């Protein structure tokens, strides 16, 4: 079963605007990760937030985590056409073998 569920499923914005994607999950986690997938390519890791962290920044990315609500959000500021991709959250429950459980993804389109 899917652990993470992203919202919205699809998002279309103008270049320069901010994009916010949300992820909800069901069970306790060790950390939560966000990945990006360009069309026809493999996934690329963007950022990781641990269960004891509330916010993390990396360049134009800002991730928040609310473990009480079992939710996370990814904010991309000042979006660019090159940010057009699908974005997935993935949860690591801390069990052995470092398995990740992925959500279904948000497809972001940034219009130049």
Partner 1 sequence: DAGITQSPRHKVTETGTPVTLRCHQTENHRYMYWYRQDPGHGLRLIHYSYGVKDTDKGEVSDGYSVSRSKTEDFLLTLESATSSQTSVYFCAIRPTSGGVNEQFFGPGTRLTVL
- Which residues are near partner 1 by CB under 8 A? 1-2, 4, 31, 33, 40-45, 48, 88, 90, 92, 96-105
Q: Which is nearer to partner 1, 16 or 41 (CB)?
A: 41
Q: Which is nearer to partner 1, 15 or 24 (CB)?
A: 24
Q: Which is nearer to partner 1, 19 or 90 (CB)?
A: 90
3-state secondary structure of 61: strand
Nearest distance from C-beta of residue 102 to partner 1, angstroms: 4
Nearest distance from C-beta of residue 110 to partner 1, angstroms: 21
Residues 13, 107 contacting (CB under 8 angstroms)? no
Q: Which is nearer to partner 1, 35 or 110 (CB)?
A: 35
Nearest distance from C-beta of residue 82 to partner 1, angstroms: 18
User: What's the farthest any 2 CA atoms get from each other in the chain?
Assistant: 44
Nearest distance from C-beta of residue 97 to partner 1, angstroms: 5
Residues, the chain = 112
């Amino acid at each position: 079963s899917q652990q993470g569920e992203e919202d919205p499923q699809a998002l279309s914005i103008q270049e320069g605007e901010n994009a916010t994607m949300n992820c909800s999950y069901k069970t306790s986690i060790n950390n939560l990760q966000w990945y990006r997938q360009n069309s026809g390519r493999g996934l690329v890791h963007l950022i990781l937030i641990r269960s004891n962290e509330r916010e993390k920044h990396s360049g134009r990315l800002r991730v928040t985590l609310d473990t009480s609500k079992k939710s996370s959000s990814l904010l991309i500021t000042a979006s660019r056409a090159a940010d057009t991709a699908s974005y997935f959250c993935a949860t690591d429950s801390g069990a052995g073998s470092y398995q990740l459980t992925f959500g279904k993804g948000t497809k972001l389109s940034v219009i130049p």
